[in-house]
A and B are shown apart, each in its own frame.
Chain A
Amino acid sequence: MAITTRVVERPVNEASYVRATFQGLALTFKHLVDPHKVTVQYPEEKWDIGPRWRGTHRMLTTEDGKAKCVACGLCPTVCPANCIKLVPGVDAEGNRYPAVFDIDEFRCIFCGYCQEVCPEEAIHLGRHYENAEYDRKDFVYDLTRLTSQTHAVCEMWDPADPRGE
């Protein structure tokens, strides 16, 4: 069968790119002069993140500034990513405390099990997303860093309805 070519008559005034280009430019110039801004003006302005946001960890402290952690060992046990290193110790008053408490935030999968399992409500995930560092090793958060951070913490459940009923 011979190959044939069918020439389509295009409606020039509808299919021309010239008109579409000017229409697009018009929209661009309109937004250039329009004072209403649609995007979030980061970093001056920050998005309001949800109460259950699971970000990098924070360790809460008692009134005298010590970590609430008693080194019970539940968080390294429950952690599915095996990112928590905990070595228990005994302080001068005979209380159990974490001699070493390191969280590798690279390994962490932010499941929140550590916060959920903690009997002392010590370790929390943070409502926080600005995690940049200059050095990879700074992503292993030690106890000093975990206790000194001040950002808001994740709310795993609604305090008014803890069982989700």
Chain B
Amino acid sequence: MSDQKFVNLTIEGRQVSVPEGTTILEAAKTAGVLIPHYCYHSGLKIAGVCRMCLVEVEKQPKLAPSCATTVAEGQVVNVYTQKALDARKGVLELLLINHPLDCPICDQAGECELQDYTFQEGRADSRYREPKRFNPAEDFGGDVLYVTNRCILCTRCVRYMGDVAGDRALCVEERGDRAHIGIAPDHDLSHPWAANVVDLCPVGALVSKDFLNKARAWELDRTASVCPNCSQGCNITLETRDEAVVRMKPRSNDAVNHFYLCDEGRLNYQWINRDDRLETPMVTGKPASWDAALAAAGAALKGGSAHVVAGASLSNEALWLLKQAAGVGKFRVAKGGEAPLPGVKDLALRADRAANATGAELMGFSRADNPLATAGKIVLIAGDDCTDLDTSALAGASTVIAICTVIPKGLPANSILLPIANFAEEEGTFTNLRGRVQRFLQARPAQGLARPSWMALAGLAAAAGKNGAFLSAEAVFIAMAKTESAFNGMSYDSVGLKGQMAAGAGVTA
């Protein structure tokens, strides 16, 4: 890398220096200029089919497609000259000839690049007077619906399926104005990573069936988060409307998931909005105040060592406080099939369907198929809802404390229940299977009297006579970074929104 040559050029009057072989479009981004483009996507191979990124390069007679032209020493690139603007305006006019005027019912409206660039550079009206071509919409299988009329044939989806997903399911069928995206015989988009074509599509041609007609793009609140559905820890944006999560979108992070998110991850969000939640602390079957419930739980923990069952989807902060309050224990991890994305190194839907199994292991918790098997007199269950678990061992326990989002099944009637927020309702960090510590932020309010898991467990630690004086998740993280060697020297600032590798985790597994 050190012998990489840099090229100096001028873009829109700004001097930039970029590595040799960079395209003009990427170089312009470093100069703060976004050249309009459709077919180009930094995660895909260059096609140069849309002609939207034409720019004027001085001393070149013809306009250059900036996505497919590499930079040269001393080049002077002008993006907004009249010649370039006229060319792009012409491209937009041709794209809009057969594009239906159905923005009011199109899911992409508000986040549509055709809308944006037409608004910026396109004509105000059309000169085309003939009837528009019409093709019916087609169900591509999986979560994808293809609305043929809206397609601008940028072929991002074709290249993604062929080059990245490794399943040549899509192609361009027919020619000229009859061209459309076709699906190969006996294929559909049920590939585990196929729904990424919905994100890649710059217009509303490929839309998510799950999200269809649910909300408008501009009504959504967006929160940076981490996908909780497997141990890969893909970076996501949680999009909420009226305090309910309505979809999950990938957030680009070249160290984890690039631009992608698997179908199983992105569609498994309904549980975040479930309304059968535990909303108030309970002591022996009756609602109690937080103070009373924490006092009862703390008194029980002081009475002897507790058998701890942790949830593998608790945040690092909550697991560390659990360790402070009652010591380490066991956790179980739901399993599922593994589905790699061939075009991206080290990216897969992982077999461990839990967000923070690695974090729990780094903290000293151990895996068990049935973490309740060796339960003693005092049992502390945190973040595990006991679904499909043999809870017969609980019958012999004198005290069961459950810190949970929903009431676990098979608990004795005299249990102490403390409601906590789920990951979308609190702040914290997860550690993915490669040991990357990543932050997630709060996207919706906690339900009822539920507290963030770090706050509930800090209260429990204090009630058990340990240090529980923490006022924020960040304060817990700072204390954890001091005592846990894996997290030494880390802070929310250093983790940022792209994550940071935990010490010693390295590249095991």
Contacts and interface: CB of A to CB of B under 8 A. Distances in A.
A9 to B, nearest CB: 80
Interface string B89-130: 000000000000001110001000000000000000000000
Interface stretch (B208-216, B358-366, B375-383, B488-496): B208-216
Interface stretch (A72-80, A130-138, A154-162): A72-80
Contacts of B212: 90
Interface residues of B, number: 11
Interface in A108-160: 119-120
A31 interface: no
Interface string A4-33: 000000000000000000000000000000
B105 A73 contact: no
A66 to B, nearest CB: 14
B219 A88 contact: no
B271 interface: no
A96 B105 contact: yes
B216 A73 contact: yes
B105 A77 contact: no
Contacts of A72: 103-105, 109, 216
Interface residues of A, number: 13
Interface string B204-240: 0000000011111011000000000000000000000
Contacts of A89: 213
Interface in B177-220: 212-216, 218-219
A90 B109 contact: no
A83 interface: no
B214 A88 contact: yes
Contacts of A120: 104
A88 B213 contact: yes
Contact of A77 (B103, B213, B214, B219): B219
B104 A70 contact: yes
Contacts of B218: 73, 77
Q: Chain B at the A interface: mostly helix, strand, loop or mixed?
A: loop
A96 B216 contact: no
Contacts of A73: 216, 218-219
A77 B104 contact: no
B237 to A, nearest CB: 20
Nearest to B104: A72
Contact of A74 (B104, B213, B214, B215): B104
A90 B207 CA distance: 15
A74 B109 CA distance: 11
Contacts of B216: 72-73, 77
Contacts of B215: 88
Contacts of A96: 105, 213
A160 to B, nearest CB: 20
A120 B103 CA distance: 11
Contacts of B213: 71, 88-90, 96
Interface string B435-449: 000000000000000
Contacts of A71: 105, 213
Nearest to B110: A73
B106 to A, nearest CB: 9
A88 B213 CA distance: 6
A93 to B, nearest CB: 13
Interface string A83-98: 0000011100001100
Given A90-B212, A96-B213, A70 B219 contact: no
B221 to A, nearest CB: 14
Given A72-B109, A89-B213, A119 B104 contact: yes
Contacts of B104: 70, 72, 74, 119-120
A16 B16 CA distance: 95
Contacts of A95: 105
A94 B109 CA distance: 18
6 contacts: A71-B213, A72-B216, A73-B219, A77-B216, A88-B213, A89-B213
Given A71-B213, A95-B105, 12 more contacts: A70-B104, A72-B103, A72-B104, A72-B109, A72-B216, A73-B219, A88-B213, A88-B215, A96-B213, A119-B103, A119-B104, A120-B104
Question: Top 7 A-B pairs ranked by shortest CB distance?
Answer: A72-B104, A73-B216, A96-B105, A119-B104, A70-B105, A88-B213, A70-B104
